[in-house]
Structure 1
Amino acid sequence: MTASSAGRTAAPARRERLNPLTSLTAAAATAVITTAAGSWPLSLAVVAACLGLSVAGGTARRVLPAGAAVLVPLGLSLLWLHGLFFPEGRTVLAAWGPARITQEGLEFAGQRILQLAAVVLVLLLFSFSVRVPDLVAALSARGVQGRFAFVLASTLTLLPAIAARAQRIRQAQESRGLVVSGSLVSRARAFRLQAVPLVLSLIEDAGTRAAALEARGLSNTGPRTSYREVADSGLQRAARTVLVLAALAAVVLRVAQAGAGG
């Protein structure tokens, strides 16, 4: 066995020793803290860390396209909303009637896009790294009912599927003559024509999942036996507690700052 193959074998082994609840707590706490802080240096650091971890874990080829599929339309909408119609903008760079491009609006939109990118990449990194059976087993071991555990695990890992489905819907609409580029009006119309089929397909998929869960008896109550054991440790449990407390502290601090400012 070569050194490179040994390294590739050791990396998955290290990831498997990490309890799915630890990675879930880390992802959720990072998203909450980043949102509550509202600091672009922190958001930039989180984005850089997610990109580095995705490259190290071998998931960059899936995380980056999925992240682009989610962030590009949302980023454009934020630029359009805050860049042109930011009420607190004072430094006007260009104006067309009621629409004004202001420096403050562009800065605000850039900060929100960076903050959104941090949250999306954190969730995508978790979605592409976690194993759903291990997550379901870990949740069930903590007393979470089987159906809820499976639905939660499936929801958390659905982001990549949403991005891929949105890409297929866009390709199908373009093959029918949909023009995505052009004016803001045509872009808004194209977004609506892509968003409606996506939402409807997700609703249909949720119904199919619910029927499958019902057929397998996951809604039944009572004791359950799990044939999959997920390793855990006191250090990881302590780390999860610290992460939850840090996220709660960030939210409380944010609320206190908002109250003091108001």
Structure 2
Amino acid sequence: MPSGSTRSRLHPLTALALAVSAAVLTTAAACWPLSVAVALGAGLLAWRAGVARRVLAAGAVILVPFGVSLLMLHGLFFPEGRTVLAAWGPARVTAEGLGFALEAATRTAACVLVLLLFSFTVHVPDLIAALIARRVPRQFSYVLASTLTLMPAIARRLDSIQQAQQARGLVLGGGLLSRLVAVRLQMVPLVLGLIEDAGSRSQALDARGFARPGPRTSYRTLTDPTAQRGLRAAALLLAATAVLLRLAAAWPGLGRP
């Protein structure tokens, strides 16, 4: 997790607004140089926050299979491709297909890295307190908090399961068959543990009156400077403008009488 000073500089809603706006702008622009710049910026910010290894590792798990599938589908079987670079039967490598795959891959990489940076740097209790202070439904806040904390919780539980099984003599190395058996033996206690955790969380929420109506108090007090409120508004306005321009470019007759 980043240091406390890093957290204190940005209000959690400001970080959320900037992350969402960057993802929306990158998607609306559909320009691979901008996508590369946003991805590099996210990587630099992750390095400064001390979470670069975690962000890049999680991003690789998502983006490598996605990039390979894009290359196979659009690089070899792009129906609008006209400039053929190589051909093997029905498969054709076209410049248009490679360009489309590059643009889609860089755009997705930028969005994924920006959102991962937010998830790994935001302080979840502060974010939930900020949302509740603005009368966001508690159910939405809880779902968001669960989403942000799910992967770290799964990683910690899986690491504990692996250590316990290795202490009992389970061999995690070896050939492919041995690894598949080890994965199956790890998934069973992992899934059962997650189900047990879900039941425990439900009981804890009921005991704390989660579903009860009425106003709530919070022991967390967050400062929200005027400058950051203006920054959030500007970022969201810029994202909305980019979406409208994208729609106007896609449908030139949109908005005409």
TM-aligned CA deviation for residue 120 of structure 1: 0.1
Distance 1:96 1:261, change over 3 A: farther
Distance 1:143 1:13, change over 3 A: same
2:211 aligned with 1:219: yes
Distance 1:98 1:54, change over 3 A: same
CA distance in 1 between partners of 2:151 and 2:241 (Å)? 28
Q: What SS class does the counterpart of residue 260 from structure 1 fall into?
A: coil
Residue in 2 that maps onto 1:208? 198
**CA offsets, 1:72-118, max 9 Å, x none?**
11111111110111011112222222221112111110111000000
2:24 aligned with 1:32: yes
1:55 pairs with 47, 70, 76, which one? Answer: 47
Residue in 1 that maps onto 2:98? 106
Name stretches of at least 5 consecutive residues in structure 1 with no aligned partner.
1-8, 179-193
How many aligned residue pairs are there? 231
2:147 pairs with 155, 159, 163, which one? Answer: 155
Letter in 1 for 2:198: T
2:112 pairs with 94, 114, 120, which one? Answer: 120
TM-aligned CA deviation for residue 155 of structure 1: 2.0
Distance 1:80 1:234, change over 3 A: same
CA distance in 1 between partners of 2:86 and 2:156 (Å)? 37
CA distance in 1 between partners of 2:215 and 2:51 (Å)? 37
Q: What SS class does the counterpart of residue 93 from structure 1 fall into?
A: strand
Letter in 2 for 1:141: A
CA distance in 2 between partners of 1:101 and 1:67 (Å)? 27
Distance 1:28 1:164, change over 3 A: farther
CA distance in 2 between partners of 1:98 and 1:34 (Å)? 33
- TM-score, scaled to structure 2: 0.78
Given that 1:63 and 1:125 are in contact with CA atoms closer than 8 Å, whether structure 2 keeps it comes out as yes
CA distance in 1 between partners of 2:253 and 2:113 (Å)? 31
Distance 1:100 1:62, change over 3 A: same
Given that 1:128 and 1:160 are in contact with CA atoms closer than 8 Å, whether structure 2 keeps it comes out as no
Given that 2:13 and 2:130 are in contact with CA atoms closer than 8 Å, whether structure 1 keeps it comes out as yes
2:148 aligned with 1:146: no
2:221 pairs with 215, 229, 236, which one? Answer: 229
Letter in 2 for 1:58: G
Given that 1:54 and 1:63 are in contact with CA atoms closer than 8 Å, whether structure 2 keeps it comes out as yes
2:76 aligned with 1:76: no
- TM-score, scaled to structure 1: 0.76
Given that 1:33 and 1:247 are in contact with CA atoms closer than 8 Å, whether structure 2 keeps it comes out as yes
Distance 1:35 1:163, change over 3 A: farther
**What is the percent sequence identity of the aligned residues?**
55
Residue in 2 that maps onto 1:249? 241
TM-aligned CA deviation for residue 148 of structure 1: 1.9
Name stretches of at least 5 consecutive residues in structure 2 with no aligned partner.
162-171
Q: What SS class does the counterpart of residue 73 from structure 1 fall into?
A: helix
